[in-house]
Structure 1
C-alpha cells in the first residue's frame, strides 16, 4: 500500500465482484489524416483493451503543458506516493457468477453463493462505461465495482484517443506502442483547433465502443476461447472465458439491453451514441457530469431511448458563472432543454438530477484513496464524505437500471422526487 493512501473499501452489493483485463486486436482504422509533430498518425484503432506509473506521470506532465524530465519525475513520484500499489478489491479472472471454474484457474472460495442466476434470470444486464478526460478506466473502479456487485456485467473501456494521460497498446505480433496525451497544439489537423480535435476523439471513441460490443457478442455466442487466445494484454487473463462451449458466458449476457454510460467527456461520448443510425441501439444511458468542454451536446436522440443525466453538486453550481454554452445561456440550461426535448419530442423517458454533496471527482477513486482531497477548502462546499459520494452515484444509477429492467414503479417514483441524495430538475411523465 502506498505511503500516503487509503485502501479502497469493499463493495456493498450482494454479488461477488471479479475482473478480467482484455486487449483484443481489431481491424486497424485511421480516422483522419491528423498526425503528431513527429509524423505519427494521431489516432489509430489497433486493439481494444492503464499504463505504467511512469507513463501516466509523463501524461499528466503534458496536461500541465510541460514535458520536462523534472516535471515528469515529480508527477511520477506523486502518483507513486498517493496511489502506487493501490489494489482493486475484486477477484481476478474468476468465472461469471453461477459457473464452475476451469481447472487451475484462480477462484474464490465460493464462486456462486446463493444460486446461479443474475437479477434478470439467467442473463446479466451489461453496462459499457467511457471514462473522462485526463482519466483511465481504473480511476472509476469503485463506482463500477459497486454496479457489478448489484448484479451487472460492467465493461470499462481504456480509450486510446489521446485524451487520457497514457496507455500502452500491446499488438498481436508482440510489439508495443505507447499512446500518450496530446492536445490540439501537438496535432496537425486539416481544420486546426480544439473543437476539431474533440470531434476526432469522439469519433475514435465511438469506434472503440462498437468494437467492445462486437467482442461481447462473440463471448455471448460461446466463442470466449477465441477472445482468450486473442488477448494480447500482459496479464494473460481471460481463461475463464474458455470453459468448454463458453459455458460460463455463453448466452449469459443480455445483449438486447446494453446500457451505455460515461463521465464528463465519456458522458458526451455516450450521448453521441444515442443518435439515430449509430450501429448499436443501446437500451438506455447513464450520463454523469456531461462534458462542458467537449463541444456541443448531441440533441438528435433515437426515439424512445431512456436516459438519466446525473450531475454532481459542484457541476450544477457552476451554472451561474459558466456563461453561454453553444447557443444556450449556460451548460445547465442546455442539458435541461435537451432532457425536456427528449421527453416531449422523442417519446423517451429522461431524467436530469443533481446528486447533492458531491463534486466532479466524487464518482472516481481519487477521494477514496486520498480523503484529504475531500476537504471543503480544496473542492468547495459541495464536498461530502468520499465513500458516501460514490454510493450516491451508484444508487441513482441503480434506481435507473431497476426501472429500465422491469419498469419498477418504486424506482420511477424514487428517481422523480427530490430527496436527501438528489434534486430533480426534469422527470418524465409516468405512462
Structure 2
C-alpha cells in the first residue's frame, strides 16, 4: 500500500520534473508539472520530501525541533506525490502555462496538490523555488562536475526581524523573486519559439534514464495567456510581476501578503483572482488588496473556516498548526474549493473546458465561501 497525497480529479495522469537553468546562484530552479498520456503508476511516484535538508529548513522556518517534524512525517508514512517523475508530457494539444511563486518558507513542492490538479486538467505549471532566502531550503550546482557528483551548494532560509528596515529588505526580496519569475517567463516563451536551454539537472544521477526532455515541449506551449500564481509572499511577487511583464495575462493570488509591495505604484489591468483564507488578513492587508479589486476583471473570495496553511500540502501531511480552537474545514475539502475557484476563473478567461465537477463543488459549498471584499476575521 502506497501512502500518497490525494489523487487529482482531472482526466490526465500528471508528470513532473525538476529543471535548473544554469550553474549560477540566481538561475531559476523550478519543478514542472504537466499532463501525460500514461496511466497512474505508484511505482514511479517519488517522495514528497526530497531530502533531509528540506526538513531542517522547514524546522527552521516554523522554529521547532527537527526531530519533532521528523516524527510527524514518520507518523504520516513516506508520503508520495501522485505524479510520474520524468514522464513524457502530453503534447497533442498546446499546454496552457502557469508560473507559481511560493510563500515564505515555501518550496517547489509545497503546493503539489494544486499543481497536480491543474496538470491533470492539461496545464503546465512552472513552480519556482526562490533563491532570495525565502525558501525553507534550496541549492544550486556551481559546475557540471558538481552536478555529476551531486555536490550541492545550499541556500538556507533567513529570518528577517520586524523593525525599521523590514519593508526595505522584503521589497528587495520581491525584486529578486520577480527576476526569477521573469526569467521563467522568458524560458517558456523561448521554448515555444524553439530555443531549448540545457537542464542542469540532466547531469545528475536522479535524471538518468527518465523519459523527459525539454525538447518535447518545444513549440507545444500556448503562451498567449500565461498566468502567474502566488501564495502569500508569492502573491505579492505575482502582482509585482503582472505590473512589469504584460506578457502575463492573468493573476491568481492565494492569501497574498501585501506588505512587501505596499509602497509600489503598480499598474495592473489583467484579470485577477484573489482567494483568501479566513484568519490571515488584517485590515491593512485587505485595504491593500481592495485597490486591485476595484476594476471589473477582478474577483475575490474568502474560504471560511480555513487558515493560511490550507493552500499548501502541509495541512494534508501534518494537520492544522494554526488557530487551534477555530472550527475548520476538512483540509481536502478546502483544497477542492480552492482548486475549483482557480479552474472556474481560468475557464472564464481562457475558455478552459471540462470543469463540471468544479462547478458542482462550488454550488454545494456556497456556505463555505464568501464573495467580495469581506473582513474574514469578523
* TM bracket (short chain): 0.7 to 0.9
Per-residue CA distance 1:155-178 (angstroms, 9 max, x = gap): 100112111211121233333310
Gaps of 5+ in 2: 32-48, 147-151
Indicate if the aligned counterparts of 2:227 and 2:249 stay in contact, CA closer than 8 A. Answer: yes
Provide the residue aligned with 1:173 in structure 2. Answer: 144
| Alpha-carbon distance, 1:63 to partner | 3.2
C-alpha contact 1:54 1:76 (8 A) present in aligned 2: no
Distance of 1:267 and 1:379 partners within structure 2: 27
Per-residue CA distance 1:105-136 (angstroms, 9 max, x = gap) = xxxxxxxxxxx3xxxxx322111001110121
Give the number of equivalent residue pairs: 345
Distance in 2 between residues matched to 1:194 and 1:257, nearest whole Å = 35
The answer to whether the 8 Å contact 1:23/1:170 transfers is: no
Indicate whether 1:48 and 2:29 are aligned: yes
Structure 2 CA distance for partners of 1:264 and 1:231, relative to 1, 3 Å: same
Change in CA separation of 1:407 and 1:180 when aligned onto 2, cut-off 3 Å:
closer
1:10 aligns with 2:7: yes
Aligned pairs (5 A) from 1:78-227? 78=71, 80-81=73-74, 85-98=78-91, 116=92, 122-175=93-146, 176-184=152-160, 193-224=165-196, 226-227=197-198
Q: Decide whether the 8 Å contact of 2:100 with 2:126 is kept in 1.
A: yes
RMSD: 3.4
Structure 2 equivalent of residue 283 of structure 1: 249
For residues 126 and 384 of structure 1, the distance between their equivalents in structure 2, rounded to whole angstroms, comes to: 30
Cross-structure match for 2:228: 260
1:8-51 per-residue CA deviation (whole Å, 9 max, x = no partner) reads 1111111221111111206x5xxxxxxxxxxxxxxx51453398
Q: Does 1:272 align with 2:270?
A: no
Aligned to 1:324: none
Match of 1:367 in 2: 315
Listed one character per residue, the Cα deviations across residues 252-286 of structure 1 (whole Å, up to 9, x for unaligned) are 211121000011011010011121xx245211100
The answer to whether the 8 Å contact 2:18/2:29 transfers is: no
CA distance in 1, matches of 2:260, 2:204: 30
TM-score (norm 2): 0.79
1:400 aligns to 2:345 (yes or no):
yes
Shift of 1:420: 3.6
Change in 2 beyond 3 A, CA 1:391/1:81 = same
Aligned to 1:294: 260
Q: What 5-or-longer segments of structure 1 have no aligned partner?
A: 29-43, 66-70, 99-115, 117-121, 186-190, 320-328
In 2, the alpha carbon distance for the partners of 1:370 and 1:80 equals 7
